Amino acid sequence: MNEFELIHRLTRSLPTNPSVVVGAGDDCAVLDPGGPDRLLLFKTDAVVEGVHFSSDAAPEKIGHKALGRCLSDIAAMAGTPTAALVTIGLPRDFQAEKVEAIYAGLNALARRHQVAIVGGETTTNPERIFISIALLGWVPRGKGVLRSGAEAGDAIFVTGELGGSLAGKHLDFEPRLDEGRWLAQHFSLHAMLDVSDGLAGDLRHILAASRVGAELLATSIPISRSARLAAKASSTAKPALLAALTDGEDFELLFTVAGRDAVPLLDAWRKEFPKLPLTCIGRITAGEGITIRDKHSIRPLTAHGYDHFA
């Protein structure tokens, strides 16, 4: 049984109550606190030594990544993060300086986004560092963006460039909080998430939640420089396009808008965020699954996103 099958079994009949707007299965849980204006966003995410970062990674970057992953999920709901708790499991012979450096990286990112660190816990995990972040945020009522609203004819967009994140970006990416909020304020976003499992895998989450298909344009996928370099470095390396489609941990925003909004959105984006590419990579179709079009053919995309248990 892999991670996705297990999650499916575990989430079939979870306890709920009337405050739950969105439970398991989207980027964040959404809760209604009462009150006229805002909904609560609630998210946890963990990073584990040897799984999500190597033992020799810079500790400041480990802390940055641990919080950044959660912030990216708040960004994908067009929300604003407010407070986080930090749970850290440590081997018994931990170095205090390393733990302090992990916190320094985490705190620096928190301060940039006005996120309070309101506590947490240290405990023992004998073999490796395990960091779990719990994050709260807010989103104006009616402005949260789920995965389930994509419609046939929508244009599909992605921020930044994709693939090859393991060369470095996975440890120092910048969560797209300003971009997510700006998009939701200025355009009617139909569906959005952050690219954590890989473009193809994450797009499938939108397609499954929205019951639609997608056609991607191979020549439009924004391939990162590190994916291109890795592909050139070895004849056995993943081709750069495949890396852009399937590598995990890019933490870019993937979203859809009505086709008629595509050009106005690109124009406005370039004025607002001139340094960050935004690319239309294809369109939502009435079918199911992903097809990819290049100059020769249209083929179904069968490669899977990155599965933590694979």
Q: Which residues bind a copy of itself (CB under 8 A)?
A: 1, 3, 6-7, 9-11, 13-17, 19-20, 22-26, 29, 31, 33-35, 38, 40, 42-46, 48, 50-52, 82-83, 85, 87, 89, 92, 94, 96, 99-100, 103, 107, 110-111, 114-128, 130, 132, 134, 136, 308-309
Residue 49 near residue 129, CB atoms below 8 Å = yes
CA atoms within 13 A on the CB side of 266: 14
What would you measure as the largest C-alpha separation in the chain, in angstroms?
Answer: 59
Cα torsion 109, 112, 113, 116: sign: positive
Nearer to a copy of itself, 192 or 212 (CB): 192
- Residue 295 CB, shortest distance to a copy of itself, in Å, is 40
- Residue 124 CB, shortest distance to a copy of itself, in Å, is 5
Nearer to a copy of itself, 297 or 309 (CB): 309
Nearer to a copy of itself, 19 or 220 (CB): 19
- Residue 6 CB, shortest distance to a copy of itself, in Å, is 6
Scan for tokens 């964040």, then name that residue. Answer: 28
Nearer to a copy of itself, 22 or 207 (CB): 22
Q: In angstroms, what CA-CA distances link 96 with 58, 102, 122, 191, 219?
A: 14, 10, 12, 43, 48
* Short-list 261, 160, 240, 147, CA closest to 201: 147
Nearer to a copy of itself, 73 or 154 (CB): 73
How many other C-beta atoms can be found within 10 angstroms of the C-beta atom of residue 58? 14
Q: Which two tokens stand for residue 68?
A: 């950044």
Going by C-beta distance under 8 Å and a sequence separation of 6 or more, which residues neighbour residue 114? 82
Nearer to a copy of itself, 111 or 141 (CB): 111
Q: In angstroms, what CA-CA distances link 77 with 74, 85, 142, 189?
A: 5, 20, 11, 10
- Residue 128 CB, shortest distance to a copy of itself, in Å, is 7
- Residue 55 CB, shortest distance to a copy of itself, in Å, is 13
- Residue 31 CB, shortest distance to a copy of itself, in Å, is 6
Q: Which two tokens stand for residue 24?
A: 């398991």
- Residue 202 CB, shortest distance to a copy of itself, in Å, is 15
Q: Which two tokens stand for residue 120?
A: 């947490």
CA distance 227 to 12: 37
How many other C-beta atoms can be found within 10 angstroms of the C-beta atom of residue 151? 16
Nearer to a copy of itself, 233 or 310 (CB): 310
- Residue 9 CB, shortest distance to a copy of itself, in Å, is 6
Nearer to a copy of itself, 130 or 187 (CB): 130
3-state helix, strand, coil in the chain (%, to 5): 35, 30, 35
Scan for tokens 């190597």, then name that residue. Answer: 54
